[in-house]
Structures are given as C-alpha cells and as structure tokens.
C-alpha cells in the first residue's frame, strides 16, 4: 500500500547478514584480528575436528544401543566453537542440546556429556571452570530462554560486567518461551545474547511449515532488540558477530538476537 494522507509508514527494519568465508573457504580481505592469528585459527580448527569426532562416535554408540537418546551436532560445529571462543570466563552459557563444542571449550569432559545421554544426570554437574557456572543441556524446547532472562537480570541488578549467552534451535522461536524472553530482555535492556542455530528443522518439521517469517532474526524487532544473521558454517564470521554482541551487552547496550 502506498503512502497517502490517511496512510503512512511508521517503521522499517533491515536484517544484516555476515559472511567472511565463502563455500570454497576463500576469505574476505578485512578479517577480524583473531582470524589473522595462526594459533587462534588452529585452535578453532581443532575444536571443529574434536566436536565432529565426538559426534560421530556418540552416534555410533547410540545406534548400537550403548547410549540413550542423543542429539547430533553434525554441521553445527562452527556455532558451538564460535560460542565457546567468544565467551569470557565470567560469562554464563545456557545452551540447548547441540552445542558440544562450546561445552568442551568451557572445560566440560566428553565423558560427562556421554554420561548424561546415557541416563545419568550427574553428567551435567560440571566441576571444571568456567563451566561450573553454566547451565546444563536443555532438552525441552525453549524453556531455557526465560531462565537466561533471569540470570541476565541478576547481572543487571548487581551491575556485574557479565553476559549470558543462550542458544536455541529454529523451532524454539515459535514458542511462547522465546517471545517472552525477547520481550523481557528488550524492555529491561539486559546483558543477554540469544543465538538461534537454524538447521532448517524443528525436530521433524521443516522450517517452511513452522514459521512464515522471511528471517528468524526479524523476530528480534517485535521485542525491540537488535537482530542479525550470520553464516553458521563460517566459524570466523560467527565468532566475530557473537563477540561483538557480547561486547555491546557488557557495555550496557542491551541484548542481541543472532
């Protein structure tokens, strides 16, 4: 509908997209500082390989009846690696159930994750720092996001320079828990960063059948917070975008949805 004396546009939004590596691995000219450090690149690559190897082994254990329910992370290693690399020790990670790379970078032992999926909840009783302050894997869809709001609100009240990084899948963005969390963190301008791992499936339902929005990032706009996209298979871009969001939240500039 065109503008007229009776009708006018009151708001417009844009969603930015960040990609630093193309599908052939070629990089853009101006990479962030950490991506120009050979040791940092090797560390990220090691995390990707370690997470992939763990996932492959866990799937074999599950398929042969030696492990219970197991949520695979094939293809999502870069997101977990970027999360783990971007977080500072004092921050709190509140994950869904595929962010194994982030857990390992935070000090969690692989045996602890296998213990949990084997049916022993003590596997989520982390002893190592800084994972000891993080939340366990969350299997119910989206219920971890209101918890993340509560933790971020505590940091806000205490004026602590700490940030909560919470993750979920694309299916969680269709749940009330997600929308309530986005609304609350926007109103209170909380130090919270929400990362949506969009693998195009909400359990067995394709994204096209559970959400008609052009992007999932635009759901941030309804809550009045910043929303953006990043190539989740590009570990450099994903780490850079998450780090920038964490820095903004730490500086009191509010939450971000990625």
pLDDT tens, the chain, 258 aa long: 566 689 999 999 999 999 999 888 899 888 999 999 999 999 999 999 999 999 999 999 999 999 999 999 999 999 999 999 999 999 999 999 999 999 999 999 999 999 999 999 999 999 999 999 999 999 999 999 999 999 999 999 999 999 999 999 999 999 999 999 999 999 999 999 999 999 999 988 999 999 999 999 999 999 999 999 999 999 999 999 999 999 999 999 999 999
Per the CB < 8 A criterion, the answer to whether 188 and 226 are in contact is no
Q: How far is CA 27 from the centre of its chain?
A: 23
pLDDT in tens, 54-87: 999 999 999 999 999 999 999 999 999 999 999 9
Task: Tell me how far apart the alpha carbons of residues 48 and 132 are, in angstroms, rounded to a whole number.
Answer: 23
Compute CA distances 140 → 85, 95, 144, 216, 230, whole Å: 26, 11, 8, 20, 25
pTM, two decimal places: 0.95
| Dihedral, CA of residue 151, residue 84, residue 88 and residue 182, to nearest 10 | -30
Compute CA distances 142 → 65, 66, 88, 166, 225, whole Å: 28, 28, 24, 10, 18
Q: What are phi and psi of 206, to 5 degrees?
A: -65, 155
End-to-end Cα separation, the chain, in angstroms: 30
The stretches of the chain forming alpha helices (DSSP H) are 38-63, 77-86, 100-105, 110-117, 144-158, 176-188, 207-210, 219-222, 235-250
Q: Which residues contact 35 (CB under 8 A, 6 or more apart)?
A: 20, 27, 41, 236, 240
In this predicted structure, what is the pLDDT of residue 1? Answer: 54
In this predicted structure, what is the pLDDT of residue 28? Answer: 87
In this predicted structure, what is the pLDDT of residue 2? Answer: 61
Q: Is 65 left (phi over 0), alpha (psi -120 to 50) or beta?
A: left
Angle CA 224–230–236, to nearest 5 = 130
């Amino acid at each position: 509908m065109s503008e007229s004396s009776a009708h006018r546009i009151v708001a417009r939004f844009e969603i930015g997209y960040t990609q630093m590596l193309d599908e052939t691995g070629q990089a853009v000219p101006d990479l962030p500082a950490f991506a120009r450090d050979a040791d940092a690149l090797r560390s990220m690559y090691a995390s990707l390989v370690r997470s992939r190897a763990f996932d492959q082994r866990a799937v074999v254990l599950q398929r042969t009846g030696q492990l219970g329910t197991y949520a695979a992370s094939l293809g999502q290693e870069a997101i977990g690696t970027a999360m783990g690399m971007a977080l500072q020790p004092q921050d709190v990670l509140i994950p869904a159930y595929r962010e194994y790379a982030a857990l390992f970078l935070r000090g969690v032992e692989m045996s602890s994750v296998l213990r949990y999926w084997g049916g022993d909840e003590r596997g989520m009783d982390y002893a190592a720092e800084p994972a000891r302050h993080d939340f366990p894997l969350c299997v119910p869809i989206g219920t971890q996001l209101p918890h993340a709001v509560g933790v971020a609100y505590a940091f806000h009240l205490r004026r602590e320079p700490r940030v909560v990084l919470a993750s979920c899948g694309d299916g969680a963005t269709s749940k009330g828990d997600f929308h309530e969390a986005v609304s609350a963190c926007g109103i209170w301008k909380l130090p919270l960063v929400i990362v949506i791992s969009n693998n195009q499936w909400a359990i067995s339902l394709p994204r096209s059948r559970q959400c008609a929005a052009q992007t999932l990032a635009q759901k941030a706009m309804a809550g009045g917070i910043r929303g953006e996209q990043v190539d989740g298979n590009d570990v450099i871009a994903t780490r850079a975008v998450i780090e920038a969001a964490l820095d903004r939240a730490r500086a009191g500039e509010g939450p971000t949805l990625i």
